[in-house]
Structure 1
Amino acid sequence: MARLGPTAICRELGVRYPIFGFSHSPDVIVALAEAGGFGVLGLAREMPQDIAPLIAEVERRLAGKPYGIDLMLPAGVPKQADIASVRAQLPDAHVEFVAGLRSRFGLDAPTRPGFFTTQVRSEALFEAQIEAVLASGARAVATAIGIRPELIARARAAGKYTISLVGSPRHAHKALALGVDALVAQGADAGGHTGPIGTFSLVPQIVAAAAGRPVLAAGGIGTGAQVAASLAMGAQGAWLGTLWLAAAENHTPPALLSRLIDAHSEDTLITRAHSGKPCRVVRSAWIDAWQQAGAPEPLPMPLQQALTGADFSAMHEYDRADLIYEAAGQSVFAIDAPTTVAAQMATLVAQADAALGALEAMLPA
């Protein structure tokens, strides 16, 4: 008997299941939509000139199915900047430390240009990303780090559903005051940039703060039972990111996929070594080197990316099994083999149905 069905936010957005999937891969987003979920495409790593054609291709493949776009808009970045000028500001000690890591690990320079080798986060970059997103047919716009009042206002005026990821009640109140339509309560269990409060402690607080507005639970969620638990806490759905890294549609490098399959929850940690802000990643020799005695403190965003972005690109390009890492949450425990989005969605729904059925059986008649 099917028990997992659309909640109010699902009906608003036009999706079957209260399962929201974040991914940088367009193929994952399309597959999620086809399986009845709501895909949210992360564009924080895309170069501005690539966003419009990327969105156009995704919308062609979705053929009218709804989807969302997620942007990362941290404060404190330069108004305008190019990667060469930011690199010129890097402290000598940090440059020498990273050069030593490259020598120790035998890491060659990347050969392919990309976001981490050619771009640096700046207000000018954010403005270009925002304009492309507002011109899109995305049903929803989500903001991760940072929230911009003008973006929320313009997105709502364009008829888009606005979502803010928050890691504390304080952040929730700020987002609600700006008029966002829904909140994602992202606990410390989550992969990527995250706060200090665990998911099970955070979700009830954000549900209370939202005072009726929809809340999605996020952070460490990798099973259907956890989706059911999210509903039991008052959320209208679950937001998953790490799980899709195991899907064929994500095109995860083989060495990284093997690392994720072998990893346990305790093999992830929160570090500033990736971006300069607290970010949960699956550990590797590169990440461990930043935790060792004598390592310098990571630089603030965007300096840390300018310092190590090319190395991050290189370890992915060369599929370095010892060094490769990625933003990943404690839900890596749910990754045990290569799979597909369709299979993952079917499993999540079946597990959620079983969990909800078990709860019903516990209740008095």
Structure 2
Amino acid sequence: MADPITPTRNQIASMAGRDPELIKALERLFIVAGQLTPSDIAALTILIEANSLSASAAFDAATSYQPSASTLDYLDFRRLQSGASRTRRLAWNDSDQTLDIGMDYDVVQQVGLETYARVQNTTGVTIPNGSVVGFAGVGPGNQLLVTPYLADGSQPTLYILGVMTHDLPDTGQIGYCTTWGHVRGIDTTGSAVSETWAQGDVLYASPTTAGAFTNVKPTAPDNVVPLAAVLQVSATVGEIFVRPTVEQQKRYGQFEATVNQTPAAANTAYPIEFDATSVSSGISIDGTYPSRIVVELSGLYDFSPSFQLASSSASAKNVWFWYRKNGTDNPNSSFIVTTDINNGYIPVGRSDFFSLQNGDYIELMWASSDVNVTLEAVAATAFAPASPACTLNVTQVQQ
């Protein structure tokens, strides 16, 4: 008989159902095929067809996800992947020394080295890869909704979630936000926010651009949220390591009374009214009752007032100051000062701590044994700024 035609490697692979070990075996068979008799070749053909059918059946079962009751002691993976990553594919990553899991959006998760949150975008626009995102509610199917985070103090620091690891369109699909681990393939030059970043820079949530980073540490009233470190600087293949450090935000405020306040009657309690706010976060003057200082969130607060007294006579006068909490005098909070200075000023003050709940308020009260005394505001001069009648500093010291 004529010498048989030796098939190509691709032809052998097709017959072997792409099984690497079977391909090698068949190649060895075809090397000696020319030395075989017709009956030998017929027997080998039957064997090849049987193996091809077995391999094809195994492949069909795997791709059709047939249930299996097999028990395995372990799985060994090849060091180098023979094919590209794809959704639902598990393979060894020899560079990172861990397993890769292929996920949607061409995301590849390194097992044990990255942690994701499943999130949904309903902002109306695509959230780009590498964007800083925060909690924006709960969507259908109890999915986390996210939006680009702006660290300007308008959102609680606790709402920060992480960094998008791919472009997430506003299509109702669910994507992945990195809460710990590597984010690759982004611009880490800093040029997008008019900065220059270097390897090792610590990145914070930007207080000026939603979803962006900055390597300049923000300060109050902005949110200070360290989020990531720059691993590789590049406009296209930059890499960061994400590890949000979220501290519970503490509230504060400074308020002034810039108008004179005088008791209408002796030995009568009057609340001190405030009309100016120098700075505040989560603490405010009540819009209806200007004597009430209201806290948004519960916590332990330090109230530190400073009063400026002025007397219009030389007779001794006793002046009382104390605190009211939610309309009730706070026990043991009163202190007294005596003044007999005519046309002079006396600064007095004393701080106190209050454990408050959401929406609680504090008032500063005062009374005098004589009406010839004033909480007096002094206008600015050519050499000194104005002096309020009362300044109140409020600081949250514990959540």
Larger radius of gyration: 2
Which structure is richer in relative contact order (CA contacts within 8 A, separation 6 or more)?
A: 1
More strand by share: 2
- When normalised by structure 2's length, the TM-score is 0.17
- When normalised by structure 1's length, the TM-score is 0.18
More helix by share: 1
